Structures are given as structure tokens and as C-alpha cells.
Structure 1
């Protein structure tokens, strides 16, 4: 792979250890599979090539935080089999952040985290578009509502658009990095499959993994019995998906679809008339929801 990349990026340097010094004019990527580090001159990387490199490798950049050494420990613990910054009996969870902003706004994100969470949460930058919040279990646990408020504050005060994944609490033992890696995969899958929401969890990303593991035969049945009869009607599929994701609440679903409740009821009846499946009960709604996820695959 290095030979292929060197054709595109003549300045590339392959290193066995993480670079001690870095420059704003150089991209640094970590290959999680080989454990190697790569340095590439930024002038050789187009925007499209940067997006591809970022999706394949973990970008490493200088952490401007005063708690740089603490962030380094967390990075090594999660990605490089380093020792845990906390004692093993400590329970923590990782809240993953995905955003689009320039390097200059990293300080804004730090300021917002500090103002919103005080010292109860540690911010660690992972790449140009990703960071994590480390939350230790305590007498008060941040709620989804707290994180929605945090997102709204970032958007209104700092003009930073953000999506996040709320992880589960686990002990900081040697198994935690594996647990975090799984949550990282679920977050990426959620962003690619359901871009309409801003907060992801195991609960709302699990169905995507479930559908991915379905056999081709099962997917063929769903296409034959549901998707083909409704001719992949995106309006109906979106309705089925939102109805399930909003706990069968017709009022909330209609509001998110920007339609009248009567229009929603018409679509549910139309879906049942064509497929013979009623989404007014859980079994039918589950099958319809899976069909909507399979339709996203194409």
C-alpha cells in the first residue's frame, strides 16, 4: 500500500513510531491495522483525497488543550493498547463527536465543552473532524437532553454543526478499547445510514447491524413481499421508518413528516392495502422498518 500511496504523495514518510513533532503543513495518519504512522505534505493532498485518507486512517494532529498529556494518555489507551488513565474499577463512557469545522475552531469547541460541562468531562481530539468526550460515572449522569442542549449551544454560539454518539458505561479495563471500537463502527454506520438525526446510540444504530447480517435470502423475501409491490415508494418508506423510530406516535411522526395526521393515516392504510402488512402492530412495523433500511442499500 505504501508504494501505491507514494505515487500519489511523493512526500509520504512511513514511520514505526508516532512523530514527536508535528507541523500545520503536514498531515499525520495512523494505520490501525499495521500500527504505522504516515506523514504527508498537505500541499499534495486534495480535498477529495483528504476525505478518503481520513476514512481509511485515523488522522492525528496537535492537541491545543492545556491537558495535552492527559489527552495523549486517553489516545494511547483507546488506540494503542496503552494503560488506562483511570483505575480499572472506574466506569466511564465515551461520547463521540463528529463535526465539520476548520482547525481554528478547535479552541471554540474546547471553550464550549469547558463552559457546558465544567471539569466533569474530558475532551480529546481524534482527527480534524472527530473528537471524544470522556465521562466518568458519578452522582449525575449527562442525559440526552443535556447533549441536545450542548449541540444547540454549539450551533447557535459557535456555528459548529455536530453529531454525537452516546456510548455505554463500562469499566476501564483491557476490554474497554474493544468496546469503544465497536461503538465507533456503529457511529459511522449510523451517520452513513441515517443522516437526519443528531444523537446516535446503540439502540438506534443496532437495527442497521441487524439488517447487515441478514442472509441474502431473507433480504430477497423482503424485497419481493414489500419493496417491489410498493415500487420502492420513498414517501411510504420514510413514513414507515419514522413511525417506528418515534415509537408509533402518530402525532410526532406526522409533525416530522410535515403532514397532517389524516395524510399519515392514509399512507399507513395504503401500505397495508398493497402489502397486506399492518404497521399498527409491532410485528408488522418491525418488518416494514427493516424493509425501509434495506431500501437504503439499494
Structure 2
């Protein structure tokens, strides 16, 4: 049925973690087998709507009113509008925090207000559908204290009596890459949640799960870039980190293998941690970085 409908309405989309659309521009329906589909409203007329509602159930998703900042992000993420200038300040970094609610009957407005009350300042929140969306953290690297998502989860689950899952993406500072990285974060969440049911998953923790499945060239590139960030072109630094990890994080042994002073090696390790935010002295960070290094060397 869906394919026949698509022949009449080419804009028809299904809920799909690999593709993002602006939900405000679509009419949404639920099929008899509980699949949610959307058709661009501008592609329909009143007769079409009456006909569609005769055999499909209208799927009402009431997105909270969007702020001007959220409207800018919607244009960037869903319409790839490169004319939007989100920041004149080069020190502004942002990251996408994708969330999913167990209750699709949750009032988005109440949830949005609760989130705003837990952050020191208002953050853009964009809804994909009635139970999924993204929090966009915008921070300057000036000592801003980040919120604890574990604390946020505890508050939300206590207040709303439902499960909330959160996937925290990496910080980036290039607006031109926003749509690509948003789709990547969304895809990662839907892949990882099949293996890891923790309420809060950081992108570094996700690496081992992401490589369990075949990755195309773009996915490999996204993974490598998200882990190594600005150290990606520093081959000497990455080689040092690889040897450090292969020596079971034994700085003395790694320094001997590299014919360098132990303090110099420690400086490089600390430099990597500072630039990427990944602590390779801890198991999860070490595992994810080492697996990504192997992936990078392969490609």
C-alpha cells in the first residue's frame, strides 16, 4: 500500500532513522500495521486529505512553538540552508544530544519545559516526532560547566514516570557540517540502542557497537572524524597514542619503544586527551580510540 501511495504522493516518507525531515511541513498518518508515514502538505488538497483519512488514521503530533533560534536550526538540519548564520563567534561549539521517550503520548511542551528548567540557559530543542528529538547544546570553550545527563535522566524519569534514552554526540564547530553530523548522531543512536540499553550513551562508548555492523565509507569517515577531531591530521600524535595503548597504557614501556623521554610521552597523551576530550587512560576511552585507530589504519 505504501508504494502505491508513493506513486500518487512522491513526497511520502516513513519514519526512518537514516533520514530527517521537517515534521511541520508534513501531514502524518498511521497505517493499519502501525507504520507512521508523512506526506508533504503542499502536495495535497482538501479532497486528498479526506480520501487519505478514510483509510488511514491521522497521526497528530503537536510540536511546541519554536523559538527563532530553533527555527534557524530547523532550516539548517532539515533543509540544509547554508545561508543561515548561526554564529559570528568562532569560539562557539555545539553538539547534538538525541533523545527518545518510551511514551509517545508524552506532551512535548511539558517535556521541553522540564528540559529548559534543568539547563543554566535555554537550549534549542527540535522534535523529530512525538517521542524523539534533539537537544542542541551551544557552548563557548570558556569554562562553561556542562550539565550531567545522568542527573537529567533521574529527574525526568521521576517526574514523568517513563524511560528516557539519550545519545550524546561530539562537539563540533563547523555549521556547514551540521546536517551531516545530525543525521550521523541519529543513525548512531538507533544502531547502538539495539545493543546497549543504558539510559545515557556517550559517542565514545558507542564505538564498539557501531563497528559490529558493516560500515560504508561515509560512516567510517564520520566515526574517525568524531573520535579524533582536530588531532586527525597529527599522525605522530596518533602513532604515539596507538603504541601507548598497545603497551597496556604503560608510559615507561611505550616511551622506550618510541625512544623518547617518559615525560614527553605523557605530554602527548595529555595533549590528545585535552584536544579530543577522550580519556585514553580509562578502559572505555582506550578501547574506543584503539578500535578507531585500527579502522583508520585500514582505510
* TM-score, scaled to structure 1: 0.53
Question: Matched residues in 1 for 2:139 and 2:162: separation?
Answer: 27
Q: Does 1:204 align with 2:205?
A: yes
Do residues 142 (structure 1) and 142 (structure 2) align? no
Aligned to 1:150, what secondary structure does the other structure show? helix
Corresponding residue number in structure 2 for 1:107: 109
Q: Distance between the aligned counterparts of 1:193 and 1:149, measured in 2? A: 23
Residue 151 of structure 1 is matched in structure 2 by 153
Q: Structure 2: give runs of 5+ residues left out of the alignment.
A: 39-58, 216-282, 292-299
- What's the secondary structure of 1:200's corresponding residue? strand
Question: Which residue of the partner structure matches residue 77 of structure 1?
Answer: 76
**Shift of residue 119, structure 1, vs aligned partner:** 2.6
Which residue in the other structure is 2:65 paired with?
A: 65
Instruction: Indicate conservation of the 8 Å contact 1:137/1:169, yes or no.
Output: no
Distance 2:20 2:130 in 1: 20
Residues 150 and 34 from structure 1, CA distance in 2 versus in 1: closer, same or farther, beyond 3 angstroms? closer
Shift of 1:61: 4.4
**Contact conserved, 1:28 with 1:60, CA < 8 A, in 2?**
no
Distance of 1:159 and 1:205 partners within structure 2? 26
**Distance (Å, rounded) in 1 between the aligned partners of 2:159 and 2:184:** 32
Secondary structure class of the residue paired with 1:211: coil
SS at 2:211's partner residue?
helix
- Please give the per-residue CA displacement for 1:24-51, whole angstroms capped at 9, x wherever unaligned: xxx9968949999764544x4443x23x
Q: 1:45 to 1:106 in 2, by over 3 A?
A: farther
Q: Secondary structure, in 3 states, of the residue corresponding to 1:78?
A: helix
Contact 1:28 / 1:39 at 8 angstroms: preserved in 2?
no
Q: 1:66 to 1:74 in 2, by over 3 A?
A: closer
Q: Distance in 1 between matches of 2:115 and 2:75?
A: 22
- Count how many residue pairs are aligned between Structure 1 and Structure 2: 192
Residue 134 of structure 1: SS of its match in structure 2? strand
Task: Return the offset for 1:15.
Answer: 4.2
User: Gaps (5+ residues) in structure 1?
Assistant: 17-26, 215-281, 291-298
Contact 1:95 1:165 in 2 (8 A): yes
Q: Is the 8 A contact 1:13 1:38 kept in 2?
A: no
